[in-house]
Structure 1
Amino acid sequence: MFDAILTSPFFGLALSAAAWCAGLWVQKKTGWVLCNPLIIAGVLIIAILAVFHIPLEHYNQGAGLIQMMLGPVTAVLALNIYHQRATLKEYFLPVLAGCLAGTLASLGSVLALCRLFQLEDVLTASLLPKSVTTAIALGIAESQGGIQGVAAAAVILAGLVGAVFAPLFAKWFRITDPVAEGLAIGACSHALGTAKAMEIGEIQGAMSSIAICVCGIFTSLLALFL
């Protein structure tokens, strides 16, 4: 009976949903910025799989369905962009310039650090797309000969850092313009950061959504020459 439950696709889905709900509950109870629901959910899932010796393949039968939704969910962000189309038209050139600068900074920092620590080419290829959304990052990593699992981990880590520390960084660097703040968040921390940007403000959320798309395009093009 227990084995039948573990091998069912609903196991991975149910465990993911329960862990996410637990993460939201902890965040609301504590109010701590570091208690990000994604961090808590990830730790809970890993702990449950390790304690009960559940094979990762069993979990992935259901969790893989969630991964399939990454692309459509990313596309849904276009609705927020549509609502802010007037702002996008007004700041079109600054948006392009900001996204290009963010993409160059992301790729340049990865290459510099990988060279500094003499990492293998396969790891460099896996870390290059760390600042774009997972659906795009996995494709870039695969095309460059990287490891998709490492790429996904790097993307999640970059997103978590942005989601947790974006308001603090904006305060430190005295970024008060909502367009600039939203672009910065989206350019460095993709969808996870965009979720935080939407909490900060509607314009920040829209600009962050735009940055996800534009930076994804820039990263895909520039990665061809690296």
Structure 2
Amino acid sequence: MIASFCRTSAFAGVTLSLFAYWVGAALKRKTKLSFLNPLLISIAVTIVVLLTAHVSYDTYDAGAKYLSWFLTPATVCLAIPLYEQMKLLRNNWKAVATGICSGVLTSLLCVLVLSVLFGLSHETYVTLLPKSITTAIGMGVSEELGGNVTITVAVIVVTGVLGNILGEGLCRLFHIEEPIARGIALGSSSHAIGTAKAMEMGEVEGAMSSLSIAVAGILTVVGATVFSAVL
């Protein structure tokens, strides 16, 4: 029945994606466990359903592609909490700019160092460079540099989920209590998924994380182009 629905309905992929995410969100609300991230659970549920029903990814993607249309407007909407904190941004712009630049540079350097240590190919290297920016920008960067866009998307999702799960705990571990610093750290390292956690932590964290997504994305476009020529 599921296999037939996925093959015949134009919106089967959207339906399955929304249902899987609903399962993940419900599980997170019930258990309150940070590692049960709704996105992570929805990915697992979707994979299980597709494998069980013997539905190919191409068939699923034909119906789920409509969700990708909302990526860009959803990213733009993150400017709203930033607008509400404009005074705070103006008073701390030097610290904010330094923090975002440090986050972007750290991400690119980590990919370079690990690629050298593990002897990765140039294609794999450039595929990983945009790991810490939002999918809408990262896909374009990876394609332009000659990377594998599909793997880039997977890496971006994993990076975001890890930031969402571990971000708040790491801030506590290293005694990072300043809201601006916490928000920038999450936004510049784990893009929109990390920003979701930042918004749970507070309004200032959410606003700074939203800003970091946009600025880090632009800086990574430039930085990735430069770093791609290194290896």
- So what's the TM-score if we normalise by structure 2? 0.95
Counterparts in 2 of 1:159-174, with a 5 A limit?
A: 159-174=160-175
- TM-fit CA distance, 1:156: 0.6
3-state SS, counterpart of residue 174 of structure 1:
coil
Residue aligning to 1:180: 181
3-state SS, counterpart of residue 147 of structure 2:
coil
Of 3-12 and 77-86, the range deviating more from structure 2: 3-12
Paired amino acid for 1:27 = K
3-state SS, counterpart of residue 34 of structure 2:
coil
After superposition, the Cα gap between the structure-2 partners of 1:213 and 1:18, relative to the gap in structure 1 and judged at 3 Å, is same
Q: Any gaps of 5 or more consecutive residues in structure 1?
A: none
Paired amino acid for 2:213 = I
Residue aligning to 1:93: 94
String of CA shifts for 1:66-111, please: whole Å, max 9, x gaps: 1121111111111111111111111111111111000000000001
Residue aligning to 1:57: 58
In the alignment, is the contact (CA less than 8 A) between 1:140 and 1:220 conserved in 2? Answer: yes
Of 62-71 and 151-160, the range deviating more from structure 2: 62-71
Counterparts in 2 of 1:95-114, with a 5 A limit?
A: 95-114=96-115
Residue aligning to 1:42: 43
Counterparts of 1:146 and 1:172, CA distance in 2:
35
Paired amino acid for 1:151 = T
Counterparts in 2 of 1:11-22, with a 5 A limit?
A: 11-22=12-23
- TM-fit CA distance, 1:125: 0.6
String of CA shifts for 1:114-157, please: whole Å, max 9, x gaps: 11100111111110000000011101101110011111111111
Residue aligning to 1:193: 194
Paired amino acid for 1:175 = I
Counterparts of 2:51 and 2:174, CA distance in 1:
42
Counterparts of 1:58 and 1:73, CA distance in 2:
25
Counterparts of 2:6 and 2:210, CA distance in 1:
38
- TM-fit CA distance, 1:28: 1.1
Counterparts of 1:61 and 1:214, CA distance in 2:
32
- TM-fit CA distance, 1:42: 0.3
* Aligned-CA RMSD value: 1.2
Counterparts of 1:4 and 1:166, CA distance in 2:
39
After superposition, the Cα gap between the structure-2 partners of 1:5 and 1:108, relative to the gap in structure 1 and judged at 3 Å, is closer
Counterparts in 2 of 1:116-155, with a 5 A limit?
A: 116-155=117-156
Counterparts of 1:219 and 1:129, CA distance in 2:
7
Counterparts of 2:5 and 2:163, CA distance in 1:
40
Counterparts of 1:117 and 1:162, CA distance in 2:
23
Residue aligning to 1:210: 211
After superposition, the Cα gap between the structure-2 partners of 1:4 and 1:41, relative to the gap in structure 1 and judged at 3 Å, is closer
Counterparts of 1:26 and 1:6, CA distance in 2:
28
Of 95-104 and 5-14, the range deviating more from structure 2: 5-14
Count of paired positions: 226
3-state SS, counterpart of residue 179 of structure 1:
helix
Indicate the structure whose relative CO is greater, using CA pairs within 8 Å and at least 6 residues apart: 2
Counterparts of 1:217 and 1:39, CA distance in 2:
27
- TM-fit CA distance, 1:61: 1.5
- So what's the TM-score if we normalise by structure 1? 0.97
Residue aligning to 2:69: 68
Counterparts of 1:8 and 1:177, CA distance in 2:
49
